[in-house]
Structure 1
Amino acid sequence: MRRRFGLRDRVMLAYGLLALGLSTVLALVTFNVVSNYLTNQRESSAVVETADNAAALHYGLFSSASQCLPNRNRNSNECGGMAVRPNVDVLDLLYSLPSTDSAASMLYYDGQWFSATGRPDDLPADMATAVRAGSEQHRRMKLGGQQVLAVGVPMARPDEAFFEWHPLSNLDNTLRTLKITLVVAAILTALLGLAVGKLASTVALRPLAKLTQVAAAVARGRLDARLQAEDDPDLGGLARSFNQTAATLEQRVIADARFAGDISHELRTPLMTMLNSMQLIQNHCAELPAAVREPVELLGDDLERFRRLVIDLLEISRDDGGDQGSREIVRIADLTRAAADATAGREVTTVAQDAEGLTLHADKRRLERVIANLVENAEYHAGGCKGVLVQAGGLGVIVYVDDAGPGVPVADRERIFERFGRSEDNRRGIGLGLAIVARHVEWHHGTIRVKDRPEGGARFIVELPAKTS
C-alpha cells in the first residue's frame, strides 16, 4: 500500500525541492559562466604564447632593417626587406624558444616540417592547410589520451606556419573540481532546505498538533479538553468552533448519562421487587406444575440479564457523568482473587509468587468491575472461565483471563471493546461489559488486548502500572 506523505512531510519536501532547484540553477549558471571564462582565458593565453614564439622564430630566421613587432601586433606590410639569416639551425631555434606550457612545437618552413617535439601528422590536415594559407587557427583535440589545444599562426612569408599544442589537463581538473564543488554545494543546500522545512513545519503546524492532541483526548472520553488558541489571529475561529462543539458534546453526553442513570435508578426498585419475587418462586419451583417450570426458568434468565444491563448502564452513566472516583492503595492479587472467584462461583485465580506483594493506586470499585466483567464474559458468553492468572511484568502487573470459547476473530479484537460492540461469532449480550472494562483500564493508565489462547479459546490480557509494596 502506498504511503501518503503527511502535511509536515509535504512542507519539508517543498522546502527541500525549492532549495535543490535554486541551488541547481545557480550551480549551472555559475559553472557555465566560470567554465566559459576560464576556457576563453586559456585559449587566449595559448594563442598569445604561440604568436610570441612565432615572432621569436621570425627574429631568429630573418633580419630586418626596422624592428619587427610580433605578428599579432603588426600589419601585413610591416617587416619589409626581410633577409634570411645564413647558417641558422631551425631545430636549435625551436629548442631555444622560451619555456612555456606547450607540449609540442612545430614549424613549416621553406617547404618542410621542423619539429622539436610532437609529430606534424597529428595535426588536422584542414587546420594545417588553413594556417599555411594565412589564417590563425586553434582547436581542441585529443592526443595520446590527453586533451590539448592546438594553435597555429602564419609566419611572415606565405605558406609558412608555426604550430603549438597546449595541454588542457589543468583546465579540465579545475573545471572538474568546480563541478564537484557545485554538486556538493547543491546537495548541502537541499539538505539545509529540508532542515529549514522541518523547523518551519514544526513551528507552523504546532497549533495543528495541539488540535490533534485535544481531539484525540475528546475521542478517548476527556470531554473537558479544550484548545487554548482562541486569541490566535489565524486559528482563533477554529479553536472557538472546536471548543464550542466539544462543550456541546460534553453537555449532551452528561445529559444522556444523567438520563440513563436516572432511568437505571428508577428501574432498580421494581427490578429488585421482581428479582425477589422470582427468587421466592424459584425456591418453591418443585411445587409448580411441570408446564410452568420452564417459563419460570426462562423468565429468571431474562431477569438476570436485565439486572446485568441495569448495572452496566449505571456504571457507564457514572463514568460519562464525570465521576472522578477515589484512589486508594490496593493489593492487586487479593482484589483479583476475591472478584474473580466470587464472579465465577469457584476458585479460578492463580497468583504468581512475584505478584503477591504488588500494589496499585487504584479505584477499588472500578478495578473490581474490570475483573468481574472479564470473568462474567468468559462464564456467560465464552464457554466458561478456564482460569485467571496474576503475575509481575509489563507495566507492573499482568492479569490473564482465559475462556473456553471459540476465540475472538482478529477483525473483531478492537470492536469488542467499543460500546455495543460484539463479535460476529457471538451476538449474545448487549456489548457494554467489555466497553466498561476498556474504559476502567484506561482510567488506571493501563492497557487491555485479546489474543488466542494456546489451548483454544480467547485470552484477555490486562496490564496495569503496579509496584512492589
Structure 2
Amino acid sequence: MVAYGLLALGLSSVLALVTWGVVSDYLTEQRESSAMVETADNAAAFHYGLFGAPQPCRPVREQAECGSLTPDPEVSVTDLLTSLPSTDAAASMVYYDDTWYSLTGKPSDLPVDLVTEVRNGTAADRRLTVGGQHVLAVGVPMKQPGTAFFEWHPLASLDGTLRTLKITLVAAAIVTAMIGLAVGRLASTLALRPLAALTKVADAVARGRLDARLEAENDRDLGGLARSFNQTAADLERRVAADARFAGDVSHELRTPLMTMLNSMQLIQNHRAELPAAVREPVELLGDDLDRFRRLVIDLLEISRDDGGDQGSREIVRIADLVRAAADGTAGREVTTVAPEAEGLTLQADKRRLERVIANLVENAEDHAGGCKGVGVEAGGLGVIITVDDAGPGIAPEDRERIFQRFGRGETSGRGRGVGLGLAIVARHVQWHQGTIQVTTRPSGGARFVVELPAKIT
C-alpha cells in the first residue's frame, strides 16, 4: 500500500512540476509579449501625437527634408501622455529632449541598466516591485535618438493565476497519492487474502478448533500449502482424539479399582482408633494420595471429554445463583458476594462446565493459596465479571500464562494435592463459553482470578 502511494505521489509530483514549468513559462511569456506590444503601440501613438505623420519626399533638391522629425510646438508632452489609449499599464513615462515626463510613475524607480539599454535603441523589460506591487517595466526606443518610452504593467493577475495553478497542482498530487494508497490497499487486500485466511485458520487451530480447515485447496498459488495445512490439521485432530479416547478409557478403567480403594480407605479411617500408632501416619498419607488420585482421574475424564468433542448442552442459567451455590458449596462457607445489578444476569451456558469453573477456582484457592477470601459477581466487561480472591502470596507475572497449561504450576504453588489440571480445565471451559480469564493481584495481597462471560439481563 505504501509502495503504491509513494509511486502515485512520485508520478503526480513529476507531472505537477512539468505542468508548472510549461504553463508558468507560457503564461509569463504571453504576459511579457502582451505588455511589450501595448507599450510599443502607446509609444507609436505618443510619437505620432508629438511629431505628426512623416513628411513626404520632395524633389531631389529638397531631399534633406524627406522624413524629417519636427515636433509640433503647440503639443504638450504631458497632454500627450494623458491622451494615450487606455491600457492596463499602471504608469507611463517618456524620456524626451533630455527630460523625464510622467503622470503617475517615478522615473527614479526604473533600473538604470533598463533605461540605458532602451535609450541605446533596444526594447527591454524588467520585473520590479514598486510600492509593494509586483510590476513588469517595459521600455521601447523611439525614432528620435536618445528618446525612449516606458510603461510598467501590474503582474497581480498573473501572480494570482500562477498561485491558483500551484495550489491546484499540489492538491492534485495529494489526491493522486491518496488514490494510490487506496488502490494499494485494495491490491494488497486482494493479494494477501489467502494468507489472511491461512492466518485466521491457523489461529483457530491454535485456540483448540482442530476442525478448522482452509478452503483454498484449488488456489493456483496456495493450493499446495492449503492441502498440506489441512492434512496436518486433520492428522493433529485424529491424534488428539486418539489421545483423548485413550485418556478416557484409562480413566474409566481406573474408576472401579479407585472406588474400591476409596471405600476400603474410608472403612479403615472409620476404625482409625483401633489401628496401632505406628500405622496411623502411613494410613493418613495413603488417604491423601488416594484423594489426589481421585482428583486426577476426575480431571482426566473431564479433559478427555472435551478433547473428544463433547459439545455439552446449553441452557439459560442465572449466574448469581449458580456461582453462589458452587462457590459456597466448595468452600463449605459463605464466600460469595453478588452486586445488586448482577442478580438478574443470565447466560446460555453448560451448567456442569460453569459449575466446574467456579469449583476449581475456589478449590485452588483453598488448597494452594491460604484459603478463598471471597468470590464476587458484578455486571461489566463482556456482561458479567466473576472474581475469586485468595490469601496466598500471589502469582508471579511470568507464571500467569503457564498456570493455565496442563500440569502447569506457578513457582509459589508448592507441592499440594493438586496435579496441575484444574486451572487448565477452567481455561478450556471459559473459552467454551466465549469468555476470558486472567490473573491479577488482589489490592490487599494475594491473587485474583477474573472471569468475564457474555451475560445479559433478563
Establish whether TM, by shorter chain, passes 0.5. Answer: yes
Aligned to 2:31: 42
Tell me, yes or no, if structure 1 residue 65 matches structure 2 residue 55.
Answer: yes
The code of the aligned residue for 2:431 comes to E
Q: CA deviation at 1:353?
A: 5.8
CA contact (8 A) 1:373 1:437 kept: yes
Which stretch of the first structure deviates more once superposed, 291-300 or 318-327? 291-300
Q: Report the secondary structure of 2:355's partner residue.
A: helix
Which piece of structure 1 moves more, 166-175 or 427-436? Answer: 427-436
Q: 1:84 to 1:227 in 2, by over 3 A?
A: same
Equivalent residue for 2:219?
232
Q: Distance in 1 between matches of 2:118 and 2:334?
A: 114
Match of 1:362 among 349, 355, 358: 349
TM-fit CA distance, 1:368 = 2.3
Letter in 2 for 1:323: D
Question: Does the CA contact (< 8 Å) of 1:375 and 1:385 recur in 2?
Answer: yes
174, 184, 199: which one aligns with 1:187:
174
Q: What secondary structure sits across from 2:452 in the alignment? A: strand
Q: How many Å apart are 1:145 and its aligned residue? A: 1.2
Matched, 1:153 2:143: no
Alpha-carbon distance, 1:42 to partner: 0.5
Residue 40 (structure 1) shift:
0.2
Indicate conservation of the 8 Å contact 1:152/1:162, yes or no: yes
Seen in structure 2, the aligned counterparts of structure 1 residues 459 and 115 have a Cα distance that, compared at 3 Å, is same
Does residue 55 of structure 1 match 2:70?
Answer: no
Matched residues in 2 for 1:164 and 1:353: separation?
91
CA drift of 1:39 comes to: 0.2
1:112–1:417: structure 2 CA closer, same or farther, 3 Å change rule?
same
C-alpha distance after superposition, 1:243-300 (max 9, x if no partner): 1121121112112222222333333333333333333333333333433333332232
Distance 2:221 2:100 in 1: 84
- What per-residue deviation string (whole Å, max 9, x for no partner) do you get for residues 398-420 of structure 1? 43322221223344333322333
Which residue in the other structure is 1:252 paired with?
Answer: 239
Query: After superposition, where does 1:200-215 map in structure 2 within 5 Å?
Result: 200-215=187-202
Change in Cα spacing, 1:31 to 1:66, as seen in structure 2 (3 Å) is farther
1:452 maps to 2:445: no
8 A Cα contact 1:268 1:310, kept in partner: yes
Letter paired with 1:403: D
Cα displacement (A) at 1:395: 4.2
Match of 1:87 in 2: 74
Aligned counterparts of 2:339 and 2:306: Cα–Cα separation in 1: 32
**Using a 3 Å threshold, how does the CA distance of structure 1 residues 145 and 60 change in structure 2: closer, same or farther?**
same
Which among 354, 379, 390 is matched to residue 403 of structure 1?
390
Give the whole-Å Cα distance in 2 for the aligned partners of 1:36 and 1:45. 14
Of 145, 150, 154, the residue aligned with 1:167 is 154
Deviations 1:351-373 (A, max 9, x none): 55665565443323222221221
Q: How high is the TM-score relative to the length of structure 1?
A: 0.87
Partner-residue secondary structure (3-state), 1:460: strand
Corresponding residue of 2:61: none
1:16-415 matches, cutoff 5 A: 16-62=5-51, 63-65=53-55, 80-351=67-338, 358-391=345-378, 393-415=380-402
Partner of 1:6: none
Specify every segment of 5 or more residues in structure 1 that has no aligned partner in the other structure, as ranges.
Answer: 1-10, 68-78
Q: Deviations over 1:180-207 (max 9, x none)?
A: 1222222222233333333333344333
Deviation at 1:331, TM superposition (A): 4.3
Offset from partner CA, 1:212-258 (integer Å, 9 cap, x none):
22222111111001112222223322222221121121112112222
Deviations 1:118-137 (A, max 9, x none): 12211111221111111221
Aligned CA distance change for structure 1 residues 83 and 212 (closer, same or farther; 3 Å): same
How far, CA to CA, are the matches of 1:406 and 1:17 in structure 2?
55
Residue equivalent to 1:442: 431
Q: Percent identity?
A: 78
Q: Which residue is equivalent to 2:63? A: none
- SS of 1:117 mapped into structure 2: coil
SS in 1 for 2:89: coil
Query: Are the equivalent residues in 1 in contact too, given 2:69–2:144 (CA < 8 A)?
Result: no
Cα pair 1:64 1:83 within 8 Å, conserved: no
Compared CA separation, residues 151 and 330, structure 1 to 2 (3 A): closer
CA distance in structure 1 between the aligned counterparts of 2:265 and 2:97, rounded to whole angstroms: 139
Are residues 177 and 391 of structure 1, via their aligned partners in 2, closer, same or farther at CA, if it must alter by over 3 Å? closer
Please tell me the residue identity of whatever aligns with 1:421.
G
Query: 2:450 aligns to what?
Result: 461
> What's the offset of the Cα at 1:459?
2.5
Which residue in the other structure is 1:72 paired with? none
Per-residue deviation at 1:318? 1.5
3-state SS of paired residue (2:144): coil
* Distance in 2 of aligned mates of 1:120 and 1:356: 96
- RMSD of Structure 2 on Structure 1 (CA): 2.5
Question: How far off its partner does 1:305 sit?
Answer: 1.9
Distance in 2 separating the partners of 1:279 and 1:103: 119
Deviations 1:436-456 (A, max 9, x none): 111111212233233333343
* Partners of 2:380 and 2:215 in 1: CA distance: 38
Match of 1:417 among 388, 404, 407: 404
- Of 93-102 and 450-459, the range deviating more from structure 2: 450-459
